[in-house]
């Protein structure tokens, strides 16, 4: 086990180094840099920018240095816990991300809970009642959820929430609470607005998870060990929860690698459509403006969460399913 953990940790470090190089290279691929976009914006407003000012700004932002030196400065700061300085927001990256993190965590954690609470009972029921009318009806709803574009569902739910409940359109709270300190009234406004994005973001994930759980569970229910358990007189409920369901959960444990970054990043398109103050639109804006430190540091943060999530899922899978080996040859 110690050797396995050591190998995994070394692989994680090498993976993060490779990701850091790729992230930095991809951000630098478009022509120009943040200063180019900034100068073009100033000139579009009718102001003139002299060559001396351009040179001063390049030195101020460190954009006059070679790319390899910019990369080393950025990576060294990341290792030391310094995420850098956002050109677009004129604030440290940690402050820009920190302002949006609480609502992002709340929204996406609620979405994950919604997906699991809805999909697991439906998936189990569909698998244990295969080809029943209920199974066909739930399958139809699942396909409908997969086929419906999230942005279209967001617009529909926003309209009905405004008409039926008087909920303000856009955002995660009423406008009067945006700059107000936290209180029970503000929390109530957040909860009143929260259900719409949770249902929108969670619909596709719920539908997909129902189909996967149903397929995996059906595969396990037809295995020989289930027949043997039935022959020994075990109840159907005990057989289901002790063996097939446990084995069918392997793909969902493996999904931890994607769940952790999703909790932080959220759905970028839905957040933009619904004007949600989460980290998704912030990331999209930083990529458009080539805000190197904000985009790069946040993408690296997501990469760290992904790698850590995969590491945790590997350990849980090894503990959950004895058929999974850790890559260590058995002693002979």
* pLDDT by position in tens, the chain (length 332): 677 778 878 888 899 889 989 988 887 777 766 777 767 767 777 777 676 767 776 776 677 778 888 888 888 888 888 777 787 787 888 888 888 888 888 888 888 888 888 888 888 888 888 888 888 888 888 778 777 777 777 778 777 777 787 776 667 777 777 777 777 877 777 878 788 888 888 887 788 788 888 888 888 888 888 888 888 888 888 888 877 887 777 777 777 767 777 767 667 777 777 777 788 888 888 877 777 778 888 888 888 888 888 888 877 777 766 666 555 444 44
Q: Is 85 helix (H, G, I), strand (E, B) or coil?
A: strand
DSSP of 163-228: HHH-PPSSSSS-GGGSSSPP-HHHHHHHHHHHHHHHHHHHHHHHHHHHHHHHHHHHHHHTSHHHHH
Q: Of 92, 124, 139, which closes a domain?
A: 92
- pTM, whole model, 2 decimals? 0.74
Q: Quick check: is 297 in a domain? A: no
Count of structural domains, the chain:
2
Instruction: Output the six-digit token pair for 101.
Output: 């993190």
Under a CB-based contact definition with an 8 Å cutoff, are residues 210 and 138 in contact?
A: yes
How many C-alpha atoms does 198 have within 13 Å on its Cβ side? 22
Query: Is residue 123 located within the same domain as residue 28?
Result: no
Under a CB-based contact definition with an 8 Å cutoff, are residues 103 and 275 in contact?
A: no
Query: Is residue 142 located within the same domain as residue 4?
Result: no
Q: CA 258, CA 266: separation in Å to the nearest integer?
A: 11
Query: Is residue 150 located within the same domain as residue 10?
Result: no
Q: Quick check: is 188 in a domain? A: yes
Q: Give the CA diameter of the chain.
A: 87
The domain in which residue 162 lies consists of 93-288+306-331
Query: Is residue 65 located within the same domain as residue 107?
Result: no
Query: Is residue 71 located within the same domain as residue 168?
Result: no
Query: Is residue 88 located within the same domain as residue 101?
Result: no
Under a CB-based contact definition with an 8 Å cutoff, are residues 122 and 210 in contact?
A: yes
Neighbouring-strand partners of residue 85: 92
Q: Quick check: is 293 in a domain? A: no
């Amino acid at each position: 086990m110690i050797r396995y953990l050591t190998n995994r940790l070394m692989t994680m470090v090498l993976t993060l180094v490779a990701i850091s190089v790729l992230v930095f290279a991809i951000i630098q691929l478009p022509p120009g840099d943040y200063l180019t976009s900034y100068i073009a914006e100033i000139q579009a407003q009718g102001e003139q920018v002299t060559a001396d000012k351009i040179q001063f700004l390049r030195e101020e932002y460190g954009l006059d240095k070679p790319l390899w030196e910019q990369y080393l400065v950025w990576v060294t700061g990341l290792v030391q816990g310094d995420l850098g300085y956002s050109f677009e927001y004129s604030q440290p990256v940690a402050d820009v991300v920190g302002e949006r993190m609480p609502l992002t965590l709340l929204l996406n954690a609620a979405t994950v809970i919604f997906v699991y609470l809805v999909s697991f009972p439906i998936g189990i029921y569909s698998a244990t009642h295969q080809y029943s009318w209920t199974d066909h009806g739930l399958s139809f709803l699942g396909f409908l959820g997969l086929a419906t574009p999230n942005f279209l569902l967001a617009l529909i739910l926003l309209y009905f929430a405004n008409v039926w409940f008087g909920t303000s359109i856009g955002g995660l709270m009423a406008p009067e609470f945006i700059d107000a300190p936290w209180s029970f009234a503000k929390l109530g406004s957040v909860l009143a607005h929260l259900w719409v994005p949770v249902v929108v973001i969670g619909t596709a994930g719920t539908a997909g998870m129902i189909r996967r759980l149903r397929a995996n569970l059906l595969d396990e229910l037809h295995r020989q060990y289930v027949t043997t358990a039935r022959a020994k007189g075990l109840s159907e409920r005990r057989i289901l929860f002790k063996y097939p369901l446990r084995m069918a959960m392997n793909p969902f444990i493996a999904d931890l690698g994607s769940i952790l970054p999703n909790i932080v990043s959220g759905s970028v398109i839905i957040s933009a459509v619904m004007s949600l103050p989460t980290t998704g639109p912030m990331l999209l804006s930083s990529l458009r403006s080539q805000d190197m430190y904000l985009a790069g540091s946040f993408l690296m943060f997501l990469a760290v969460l992904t790698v850590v999530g995969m590491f945790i899922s590997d350990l849980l899978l090894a503990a959950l399913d004895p058929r999974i080996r850790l890559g260590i040859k058995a002693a002979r």
